[in-house]
Amino acid sequence: MQEELKQILVEGLQEAGAAATSQELSAVRLKYFGKKGLITQYSRRLGMLSPEERPRFGKIINEVRQELEEYLTTREQELLALEEQRKLESERLDVELPGRRPRRGHPHPLQLIIQEITTTFLGMGFSVAEGPEVELDYYNFEALNIPPEHPAREMHDSLYITDKILLRTHTSPVQVRTMEKVCPQPVRIIVPGRVYRRDALDATHSPIFHQIEGLLVDKHITFSDLKGILTVFVQKFFGEDRTVRLRPSFFPFTEPSTEVDVSCGCQGRGCRICKNTGWLEILGAGSVHPKVLAMANYDPELYSGFAFGMGVERIAMLRYGITDIRHFYENDLRFLSQFS
Ligand code: PHE
């Protein structure tokens, strides 16, 4: 028995010495001192020995146990220290390495234009109003004096959700929604938003685009107020040297109606942007139709006003000399980062 134990001790010491990781060492400890461990088994057998033999073997077992345990502890400390060091080395940081600079985002060019135009009108006492993109036929057409069979609907063909609900084709329905809400208070709003039309995507059309609507309703508002406000806007946005030209036009919800042009940056010399005309069409406008005022509960005898609507993409293209509307929607960073 004594020989056997010595042999076990020698093997145990050898195995502990050979263990390369603290995990391997734990396995060695289990093999000798676990519940069914080799040395544990000897301790159990002590009880079967005669009272004379017991002290002697007890002593030997204790010595073997103590020696192996001490060595296991020493070895464990060695291995843990080694592992700690390896871990530190693998996680070493080079604090002098230049960092990875996170890319800074910035507003989309269309948002920049919307912000800039909105700010200009805020400065003239307008406030921002918004309305739903999924709109009732009533607000998109009927309350704007476009009855069901009106030919103007053809230009505004849209995506219908039901007979009576559609994706709005312009921001003009917000005119009516706002007037209904604040009547008989005066109205002075600017309405940026997304609109939808059944148009195929090409260099100048998109089925989803953006508009900015303006509406001013009060007593004694005339057409010259419209021209004055638009001239301030145009000169702020395009430059002090620009002028505004009004051309007769037609919209069912304004009477009279006008197309508004701004003089081209080429100063009439003729260029590709204005197609040698010297003028750029930027928006539609007019005096609010008495029927529209009346439907929103304003007395057309007392109140008058003007409205205008512009396409944000078009304005942005004129501003930056962009020739294809699709650039705005393709999320190509080579395009977008030019506006940071
Ligand atoms: N809603 C018109 C359009 O989308 C533009 C417009 C707005 C015209 C307000 C006159 C007054 O074409």
Eight-state DSSP code of residue 328 = G
Q: What is the largest CA-CA distance in the chain?
A: 128
Nearest CA to ligand 1 atom 7: 309
Q: Which atom of ligand 1 is nearest to the CA of 306?
A: 11
- Inform me whether the pLDDT recorded for 2 exceeds 90: no
Q: Strand, helix or coil at 310?
A: strand
Mean pLDDT, range 278-294, rounded to an integer: 96
CA distance readout (Å), 190 to 35, 116, 197, 216, 230: 83, 12, 21, 9, 13
- Inform me whether the pLDDT recorded for 179 exceeds 90: yes
With b for 16 or more beta-carbon neighbours within 10 A and e for fewer, the 177-187 pattern comes to: bbbeeebeeeb
Q: What is the pTM of this model?
A: 0.73
- Stretch (H or E) spanning 279: strand 279-288
- Inform me whether the pLDDT recorded for 155 exceeds 90: no
- Inform me whether the pLDDT recorded for 235 exceeds 80: yes
Q: Percent of the chain scored above 90 by pLDDT?
A: 74
Q: Is 7 left (phi over 0), alpha (psi -120 to 50) or beta?
A: alpha
- Inform me whether the pLDDT recorded for 160 exceeds 80: yes
329 is written with which tokens?
């929607």
Helix axes 312-320, 223-238, angle to 10 degrees: 40
- Inform me whether the pLDDT recorded for 3 exceeds 90: no
Mean pLDDT over each residue of the chain, to the nearest integer: 93
CA of 211 to the centre of ligand 1 (A): 9
Q: Within 6 Å (CB) of ligand 1, which residues are found?
A: 170, 172, 213, 251, 254, 284-286, 307-309
CA of 193 to the centre of ligand 1 (A): 13
CA of 225 to the centre of ligand 1 (A): 17
Of the given ranges (42-51, 106-115, 192-201), which has the lowest mean pLDDT? Answer: 42-51
- How does residue 182 score in pLDDT terms, banded at 50, 70 and 90? very high
Q: If you write DSSP's letter for every residue of 161-183 in order, what string do you get?
A: SSSSEEE-SSSTHHHHHHHHHHT
Nearest CA to ligand 1 atom 10: 285
Q: What is the pLDDT of residue 41?
A: 86
CA of 35 to the centre of ligand 1 (A): 89
Q: Of 219, 231, 225, 209, which is closest to residue 286 (Cα–Cα)?
A: 225
Amino acid at 199: D
Q: Strand, helix or coil at 2?
A: helix
Amino acid at 285: A
CA of 308 to the centre of ligand 1 (A): 6
The number of angstroms, rounded, from the C-alpha of 307 to the middle of its chain's C-alpha atoms is 32
- Inform me whether the pLDDT recorded for 157 exceeds 90: no
CA of 124 to the centre of ligand 1 (A): 21
With b for 16 or more beta-carbon neighbours within 10 A and e for fewer, the 141-167 pattern comes to: bbbbbbeeeeeebeebebeeeeeeebb
The C-alpha torsion from 222 through 227 and 228 to 229, rounded to 10°, is: 100
Q: Which of 144, 145, 155, 170 to mutate to test ligand 1, by most ligand atoms within 8 A of the CB atom?
A: 170
Eight-state DSSP code of residue 203 = S
- How does residue 52 score in pLDDT terms, banded at 50, 70 and 90? confident
Q: Of 216, 238, 202, 224, which is closest to residue 304 (Cα–Cα)?
A: 216
**Cα–Cα dist 37/30, whole Å:** 6
Q: Which of 145, 146, 153, 172 to mutate to test ligand 1, by most ligand atoms within 8 A of the CB atom?
A: 172
Listed in sequence order, the residues at least 6 apart from 209 whose beta carbon sits closer than 8 Å to its beta carbon are: 194, 195, 197, 311, 312, 313, 325
Peptide bond into 184 cis (omega under 30): yes
Nearest CA to ligand 1 atom 4: 170
Q: Which of 253, 255, 310 to mutate to test ligand 1, by most ligand atoms within 8 A of the CB atom?
A: 253
Task: For CA atoms 246, 247, 252, 255, give the dihedral sign.
Answer: positive
Ramachandran angles phi, psi of 25, nearest 5° = -65, -40
Mean pLDDT, range 24-33, rounded to an integer: 92
Eight-state DSSP code of residue 99 = P
CA of 314 to the centre of ligand 1 (A): 14
- Inform me whether the pLDDT recorded for 73 exceeds 80: yes
Helix axes 53-90, 2-18, angle to 10 degrees: 0
Nearest CA to ligand 1 atom 5: 309
HSE-up (13 A, CA, CB side) for residue 211: 27
CA of 335 to the centre of ligand 1 (A): 29
Per-residue model confidence as pLDDT tens digits over 125-135: 999 999 999 99
Q: Of 183, 264, 252, 244, which is closest to residue 217 (Cα–Cα)?
A: 183
**Cα–Cα dist 273/227, whole Å:** 24
- Domain spans of the chain? 2-90, 109-339
CA of 214 to the centre of ligand 1 (A): 9
Region 109-339: CATH code: 3.30.930.10
